[in-house]
Amino acid sequence: MNSKLKLRLLNAGVGVLAFVLALAIWLPCLHFFFRKPVADFYQENGISPKARQLATRHLQLWTDPAQRQAELKKMRGSNAEWDFMGRSFLVWSLANMRLREPQTKAQYLPVMDQIIQETVKIEQQDGIYAFLMPYAKARPYRIKPARSLFIDGEIALMMAARRMLQEEPAYKQPMTERLTAIEERWRANPIMAAESYPDECWTFDHAVALAAFKLADRLDGTDHSALCKRWVGIAKEKLVHKETGLLVSSFETDGTQLDGPEGSTIWMVVHCLQVVDEPFAQDQYERTRKELGRVVLGFGYGAEWPASWQGPRDIDSGMVIPVFEVSAGSSGMAFMAASTFHDWKFLTALNATLDMAAFPSRNHGQLKYCASNQVGDAALLYASVLGPLWERTRK
């Protein structure tokens, strides 16, 4: 009996060892099954296959009211912000696609107008709370009248992006009015802060507004360079996490920091800052890439927080997988920053993870990711086509 037991243990040990060795050989090779050239996701000229398939699905959503309402109902059940941001990312995406392929003017401009006009109509009918999470009503805004920089900044950038393709007089005054309201609030506040939620200011939304100011200057011959420079200077002094040098995600109107650096925010911030202050944006990207960018066994992803700061999980963070600290929100936004700064190695690794873990579904030339939703796919579409709009603005 003793010899039989030893033999069984020996066989079991050999089996475990063989399994471990096979795993050690197989795991490092797994990414090769999903690794594709960066051009599969992003092309400096033209439109990548994935971008075209993602765009086809989103255009279908906006030409099929029943399908769109079903998708929006699912998102708004979780977060009304996602409905709004899905609209923004799609408009910005179509602007870049139109600049990449001028012959698509007749196809994209009507959809952009439909999205902008419907979004403004909802805001006018239901107020800013239509696109905000419920806690926005829990307490009053400190600055009166109540406005959300989240709403004003993204609508202004949508209108500006549309005007960059072809002037539309109906958008000029509303865009200018929103930017004027933002400027007045920034100038009235010592740290140039404007609320998105009551006494809650988000760096994400300030960066979007800064980009909108830059497009407005390009369109209308105005000059907000001093305003933008002042905001960046204050941010470097007041809104930086000491341990990492990264911009924090949120703060109060007096500058008190709330959330430290978060991947679901900072990747988008560095993208917007590129058109405002490129050296600062490059510095922030390199820091973010070091602190939050990960590549494990050929698969890339974004962590939500640096090792020196651990924040509370919120709906923007998405699911965070323990041990590896994989954040769905950070990983999705990382595509934008990697594309912006032409970090092809990281972008290729991110794309491999997307194909492996996000469960792509293709049907009749359309692409969606089953592990994502409409806003997530719209953000990926934007990451796959961004560039031309910023380039035209800098010219």
Cβ–Cβ under 8 Å, residues 247 and 235:
yes
Per-residue pLDDT averaged across 289-293, rounded?
A: 97
pLDDT tens string 27-51: 565 555 668 999 999 999 999 999 9
Domain-embedded: residue 29: no
Please give the residue that has the higher pLDDT: either 73 or 333. 333
pLDDT of residue 312 exceeding 70, the answer is no
E-state strands within the chain:
201-202, 250-251, 293-296, 299-302, 320-321, 326-327, 360-363, 366-369
Cα separation values, 17 from 4, 48, 230, 297, Å:
20, 44, 61, 21
Q: Which residues, listed in sequence order, are joined to residue 201 by a DSSP beta bridge?
A: 251
- The reported pLDDT for the residue numbered 193 is 97
Domain residue limits at 153: 43-394
- The reported pLDDT for the residue numbered 180 is 98
pLDDT tens string 56-81: 999 998 888 777 777 777 766 668 89
Domain-embedded: residue 7: no
Question: What CATH code is carried by the domain that includes residue 95?
Answer: 1.50.10.20
Domain-embedded: residue 1: no
Rounded to the nearest integer, the mean pLDDT of the chain is 90
Per-residue pLDDT averaged across 358-370, rounded?
A: 92
Domain-embedded: residue 87: yes
Domain-embedded: residue 5: no
pLDDT tens string 193-240: 999 999 999 999 999 999 999 999 999 999 999 999 999 999 999 999
The total number of structural domains that make up the chain: 1
Per-residue pLDDT averaged across 355-361, rounded?
A: 90
Domain-embedded: residue 238: yes
Residue 341 backbone class (left: φ over 0; alpha: ψ -120 to 50; beta: rest): alpha
Q: Locate tokens 């640096």: which residue?
A: 306
Structure tokens of 111? 């959809």
Backbone phi, psi, residue 326, to 5°: -75, 125
Confidence class of residue 261 from pLDDT cuts 50, 70 and 90?
very high
Share of the chain above pLDDT 70, in %: 86
pLDDT of residue 19 exceeding 70, the answer is no
Collect all residues with Cβ–Cβ distance below 8 Å to 176 and sequence separation of at least 6.
216, 220
Please give the residue that has the higher pLDDT: either 3 or 119. 119
Domain-embedded: residue 283: yes
Domain-embedded: residue 253: yes
pLDDT of residue 318 exceeding 90, the answer is no
Q: Of 390, 387, 394, 336, which is closest to residue 100 (Cα–Cα)?
A: 387
pLDDT of residue 23 exceeding 50, the answer is no
- The reported pLDDT for the residue numbered 69 is 76
